Amino acid sequence: MSTPTTSFGREAAAALARSKNEPAWLVDWREEAGELASKLELPKPEKMPLQRWTLDQYGTHRPGTTVGSAADLPAAITELLPAEELGALIVQHNSSVVFTRLSNDLKAKGVILTSLDEAVRTHEKLVRDHLMTAYKKDEHKLAAVHAALWNGGVFLYVPRNVDIEFPVQALMFADDAEATFMPHILIVADSNSRVSFVEQAATLLEGGAATLLHNSSVEVFAKAGAHVRYAAVHHMDRVVVDVAYRRAILENDARMEWIVGDLHDGNTLTDTKSILKGNGSTSDSKIISVGTGGQRMSLTTQAVHIGKSSESNMVTRAVMKDEATAIINGITKIEHGATKANGQQTEKVLMLSPKARGDANPILLIDEDDVMAGHAASVGQVNAEQLHYLMSRGISRQEAERLIIHGFLDPVVSEIPLAGLREQLHRILERKLG
């Protein structure tokens, strides 16, 4: 194999950065990350040892072909893009961004949408002030590897008071198992701005046993009064390991909504966290997942309350089939001084097979008296009373089960802000639940 697995570290990171002609500050930054990558340990998610996962596949730099018009994108990519949607769009193909579309109207308002690769040159200050400050490169080995190797990526800046009406769409796509595929999505929403962002991660890998590591990250900075809605649908092939660390930092009165479909077919490690720094900030996270085959998943949602009167709500719903395993963690942390904070969380798992496993672990860590916090967790099978009720109206058992299972996930599916992607999500669910 040509992949520099064991030798990866300080030198390799710097050499790659130089070969891509990255600015000097970033070469140094990558070098430091490479150093950390060779020293730090893997993260230790609850009850999910990662030692057996193939996480040392770093791949090689395989940029896609840049195109000037969406019509020139490869068919495999256009098939994934909802046809009728015409908003802003950015597409990554393997190791690089190949297409960006932003209306002149939004450009005139000062909106920036580029690959992160480009933004490190064109918007150095904005990038340096934010990049990997919410998800730090020394958190653990995977963070350091991501910092050293992230490629393509998205940089979205929404200026003060600007309201982007139509969702901004990003498609992260790979069809080369030997490519380094590590997008970083960085969103800075300035004061009182509004934006919906929709991310899709997909692959088309023909057969083969090669593992592709999608070591990705999302960072959202919602400044005072900004509202950001981030929807993500991940549906990659079984041979892909999906790592997604999602972080949002919220200033005063900012609002963050996470709507996530972790519907990947292979092993999955996701961690979706809102840091409610500002007073009166609010966060709402909704995650769905379907476990199939022998896949293993660690799905974590987190809310950290620092600001007074901050509110968070986290819901995770997972359907588990076959021999799949999901460990679902909800962590609500309320720091001292975050008076009148309110943190709520729910984890629900629907078990469809006796060999599947689904653990729900609600965790409340509270260092302040004057707060509200609550959690609910349940793991169960299709409710017999519900089934009976539907059947008593003439609906067959099979159809009744289908309605209940899809219904279980609908509170999240129905929130996806793009009609076309919602349809796609239904198709993915039909396939996975089939």
Q: Which residues bind other proteins (CB under 8 A)?
A: 383-386, 388-397, 399-400, 403-404, 406-411
Separation CA 72–CA 81 (nearest Å)? 13
Contact, 124 vs 23, CB < 8 A?
Answer: yes
Cα 233 off chain centre by? 8
Cα 274 off chain centre by? 12
Complex with other proteins: residue 15 or 433, whichever CB lies closer: 433
Distances (CA, A) of 21 to 16, 26, 117, 155: 9, 10, 10, 19
Complex with other proteins: residue 62 or 321, whichever CB lies closer: 321
Complex with other proteins: residue 161 or 383, whichever CB lies closer: 383
Least separation, in Å, of the C-beta of 432 and other proteins?
A: 16
3-state secondary structure 4-27: CCCCCCHHHHHHHHHHCCCCHHHH
Least separation, in Å, of the C-beta of 371 and other proteins?
A: 27
Least separation, in Å, of the C-beta of 288 and other proteins?
A: 11
Assign 3-state DSSP to the chain and report helix, strand, coil percentages, each to 5: 25, 40, 40
Least separation, in Å, of the C-beta of 316 and other proteins?
A: 14
Neighbours of 4 (CB within 10 A): 16
- Residue 156 bridge partners (DSSP): 113, 187
Least separation, in Å, of the C-beta of 327 and other proteins?
A: 23
Least separation, in Å, of the C-beta of 348 and other proteins?
A: 9
Least separation, in Å, of the C-beta of 322 and other proteins?
A: 22
The pair of three-digit structure tokens given for residue 371, joined into one six-digit string: 């707060």
The pair of three-digit structure tokens given for residue 234, joined into one six-digit string: 């991940």
Complex with other proteins: residue 88 or 400, whichever CB lies closer: 400
Separation CA 78–CA 91 (nearest Å)? 10
Distances (CA, A) of 23 to 15, 19, 84, 195: 13, 11, 38, 30
Least separation, in Å, of the C-beta of 415 and other proteins?
A: 12
The DSSP code sequence of 295-360 is: -EEEEEEEEEE-STT-EEEEEEEEEE-TT-EEEEEEEEEE-TT-TT-EEEEEEEEEE--TT-EEEE
Complex with other proteins: residue 104 or 398, whichever CB lies closer: 398
Complex with other proteins: residue 204 or 403, whichever CB lies closer: 403
Q: What backbone phi and psi angles, to 5 degrees, belong to 430?
A: -55, -45
Least separation, in Å, of the C-beta of 82 and other proteins?
A: 22
Complex with other proteins: residue 25 or 389, whichever CB lies closer: 389
Complex with other proteins: residue 133 or 386, whichever CB lies closer: 386
Contact, 412 vs 285, CB < 8 A?
Answer: no
- Residue 300 bridge partners (DSSP): 271, 329
Vertex 114 angle, CA 267 and 422, to 5°: 50
Complex with other proteins: residue 94 or 313, whichever CB lies closer: 313
Complex with other proteins: residue 349 or 390, whichever CB lies closer: 390
Cα Rg of the chain (Å, integer): 21
Separation CA 431–CA 434 (nearest Å)? 5
Query: Amino acid identity of 339?
Result: T
